[in-house]
Amino acid sequence: MRASGGVALLVLTACMASGGQAARLVADAMPQTAPAPVAPTSMSFRWTGQLSQGGLIRGQAPTGAVSVTLDGEALPLAPDGSFLAGFDRDAGPSAELAASFPDGSLFRQTLVIAPRAWRIERLDRLPKYPVPDPEFQRLRPPELDRIRAARAMATDATGWRQNLQWPLTGRISGLFGAQRVYRGEPGSYHSGTDIAASTGTVVRAPADGVVILAAEQPFTLEGHLLMLDHGQGLNSAFLHLSRIDVRVGDHVRQGQPIGAVGATGPATGPHLHWSLQWRGRKLDPLLATGPMR
């Protein structure tokens, strides 16, 4: 067994938002700690990105590796040895990458996952669940089936290799990971980043991708929903759109217009909700993109 050791290059991304309040929100959302970078060797994993809850890294396997796992889960490994790995909002304090070699030996490397200080709002006078609406109960299950089926699709998209770009710029009005607690019972946390903008503002593809869902009619919660697969298990979802300019199966390029901001679904005003997932793990767009320009 090859001796473990040697940590990889870590490139920390900085996050910015317009306005003083937005800047404070972004500062609150950043990881509390991060490992110090150490020069890699050919026998270690290398990566760039954020080793934190909600973070995404682009990695390079040790020279000669034939497969890679994350906590025992096999990861797609490109012919050049590159791969993706992401860490859910509620990821634990550590994870393990392992590489296997043709002779059957293994190289293991422990990753320290930085915790986050999530924005929590406590509402002690409201119940967690409102009275169920029969129409919502009828419509929601088939919508969820379509979302699950879209995320299960495998495409030839290669956008996962690109540095993600913001689909539009504007005031950040909602942070990933924020959560309400109703009478001591946690509700669902906010699964994306909200960007306030006027209805009709163009939304652009953050990376190359393939359209895997384009809702013809507004969904009950997401409104007009568009989803892109970027490859390697990474996908984007864009909620509350006023219109969708692409169709399922279309290949789109980074920066290409794909729709427009709206307020469809249960939105309090026009904005884009952009969410990222990697193999079912919910990621923070702020950490994946870097500064908003």
Strands 179-182 and 120-123: parallel
206-250 confidence digits (pLDDT tens):
999 999 999 999 999 999 999 999 999 999 999 999 999 999 999
39-79 confidence digits (pLDDT tens):
445 679 999 999 999 999 999 999 999 999 999 999 999 99
What are the structural domains, with CATH classification, of the chain?
A: 20-112 (2.60.40), 120-289 (2.70.70.10)
Cα–Cα distance, 74 to 183 (Å, whole number)? 40
Radius of gyration of the chain (CA): 20
Q: Quick one: CA dihedral 46, 47, 48, 52, positive or negative?
A: negative
Residue 258: the pLDDT is: 98
Q: Token digits for 198?
A: 């006027």
β-sheet bridge partners, residue 204: 257
- Residue 23 CB contacts under 8 Å (≥ 6 apart), including other chains: 16, 17
Q: Token digits for 259?
A: 């729709």
| Residue burial 54-80, b: 16+ Cβ < 10 Å; e: rest | bbbbbbbbbeebeebbbeeeebebeee
Distances (CA, A) of 124 to 120, 128, 131, 185: 12, 10, 17, 9
Q: Token digits for 178?
A: 């924020």
- Whole-model pTM? 0.84
Helix (H) or strand (E) holding 121: strand 120-123
Instruction: Fill in the DSSP letter of residue 160.
Output: G
All residue ranges of the chain with pLDDT < 50 are: 1-25, 27-28, 33-40
Residue 231: the pLDDT is: 98
